[in-house]
Structure 1
């Protein structure tokens, strides 16, 4: 069972132990403490087994008492002797929780015992990251059953049930938002429920949960950052700006050539980092961790945070990922960059259905005449595509269809409009050679906009004062 802190590994191990005992299986339990030595780990294992056998198998308990701790000379003899005792006392299960604290040599010897004994002896391991053992071979041989963070995560119904235990009467939309934010992480759901019990505004609480809730922040610092050095902590602060990060983007953000190895190692050792093996390989931090890191990055070094976002915005723009580019440019407070992105690509995004991203970017811009004109143009196009009559009446006059068309807009989608309802300048002639049409990579118009309407909208928007020609 491999998952990060707070995913319920120990709770599930307890439940599984109770099930085994009810089936007549004897269970010995060991929890490995932090900084344990190999000798102390094996001493704890032998004592736990000896105590379990004391009443039911006194011969096995006596044999374990006579068994010397493994040493360099007696490793093979120790494995054979322990496997023999366990085989004679089967069925037996050994639970080892917090296995990540055990030294590598103790773990290697423990898994030698696993391969030596028969199927009547079961081993249950709880760990925050995978040990260095042949998991693939064991899986293929039918010796292994794996449980990971995704298997332990709450679904929406379970999240709502946990929240209801703490705060009765929680709205369904609040429960859904808590599930989206926590991604089913059990400890985060429990902390959210406990805090909601004393909060007067659940919607505001959810919005601020990761960054402004002391219990959640304390848990993240204690459980996730306690073992990280300053160098790795700063690396995570630098790569948290985008929602998802590739190795190339991590290199651009941090300048570290070993960024791929760092991300891969963290994805292996923590359920808070997910790896997606499509091309290129992409990593994604858990949404709560990402929100906390972003707040911490702003608090520690605001200029560095903005520089990271400026790099991410340009990186995404160079690769045609316009929506994340807009979000990063807004966080960077580089208003020239954000305005340039909106001028060049705002119409593409609006016509591709990304109006919320465009509106968010427009809201981030400082209020001035240029920003107002830009917002008016893009909002006008959005109103056309959405059949929004009030929005159209607020848009620039040159973007509006004829009055006869406006009277037919109430309750209609843009796909019902005909080209003759628009001013005639672009209807019966093609664009001049000096003003080429949109490049072929432009997005397909949305389902609410016919191709004819899309061409007219784009032509009208290009001819507005201040609009830029596409390359």
Structure 2
């Protein structure tokens, strides 16, 4: 299994806008909290209060070692969260989390105590005192992720967190507050004062306000940064500031919705369309915008929008990827939904096509489902489920599955089989059966689908042997091998794994050896190291049970050599193979060699 491909833009803090109002008082509070060794700096406020902008400004002014991680819904899962957290920490110190990352890349999540112990050891050994910014933390709701983060916060480590969030996280804030270990910056702190509002309009927006207009604007917006910025944009182009301010009424969302429409009206028609059409995208670059809007000058337009402070946020230092301010994007999308609802399907269709062409299947699936293009979504899932599982998308795969109408799930046996394998590998046997049955039902009237039928049998063989139903497991494995295409080596490996495991439990040694060796051979040809390791483990332990030490040693040595030479993340199951080889040496009274292999297995 290859190391997981990471989305580079998640590690880039938001570059500060060209024009901004310095908020030195808040920056000083953050520095004081860090100097007091507070493990957590919490910046918590609703959308539009300038949280991320403040932290990005602080990052540029501090002398501390800062590492950054922007979170999204996909990170609300322990394995994926840890992969990105470790990668963020490694941007500051490459030695942190190397051993834990190897486990995660092999699709293995260690127990929480092991995770904390490994990270603690690496952090204490590091010479750097780090601050890790977690932006958009409100997406993290998984209790296991929160427990891991809580352990890192409450332990005395050379690691402090700055959490940027729209809502308070489920962390022990009361305990931290009572023990003077928490610095908090909230909406009340982030609101612009009268002096800051005056300076913002004078220095950033180049619109001087009268004392009366300033007081009324502050009263209507309550110092809400997004509202002030949009108010300034709506005043540009010669509009009377007093008229704009007098028109403001209602709550913050009403004000922002009104101002968004006012800002749109000032743009050329082509720019209005660009803003609305691209509001369906959570992130974008010029090429993607060209595909969605069907224009060719998106790069120039993005540069102009950035210079105009039009709520466009760069996601990398090169200015390649962008996103809109979240609340601005929501309001643009709401406006699009009201004004051109019939266009949504086509826009999502164009986005899905582009992401698919760029080998970005997760984003392509999201947009295909939004376009109700269930054929494309099902095909993408069929092709990419195994890859996405190894990248930590387990929750999203389940969510995608629920988004597919029932008729598409039953019409797509390949999709059902992908979900069934996912649940089998996770040991959730109860959820395997419905998907397997749906796949089998869909194949009843499909005469040219022998490989899919073979996969159903291979899946059922592995499920049944795990549940101790040995004769049925062997029968299904044989049927899979009988009807599968000779060139489908991945499926031949899985079928022989089920067959060999069944023969092992049936105490048919020679038959089990042959099937498991076949599984290992086919797994090598297909690059499926997990199936190969599982087959090897069965074969080694069975050989030891029957006193066949030479065979156990040969298989162990071959698998270890193979896994260590392919240059990929080694599955932790290799520990069992080291342990088995250690037992071989122990039985031969080669104690030092046995000790060495046991220690490697434990490691």
TM range (shorter): 0.3 to 0.5
> Is the helix fraction higher in 1 or 2?
2
State TM-score, norm by structure 2: 0.36
Task: Look at both structures and tell me which one has the larger radius of gyration over its CA atoms.
Answer: 1
Greater RCO (CA < 8 Å, at least 6 residues apart): 2
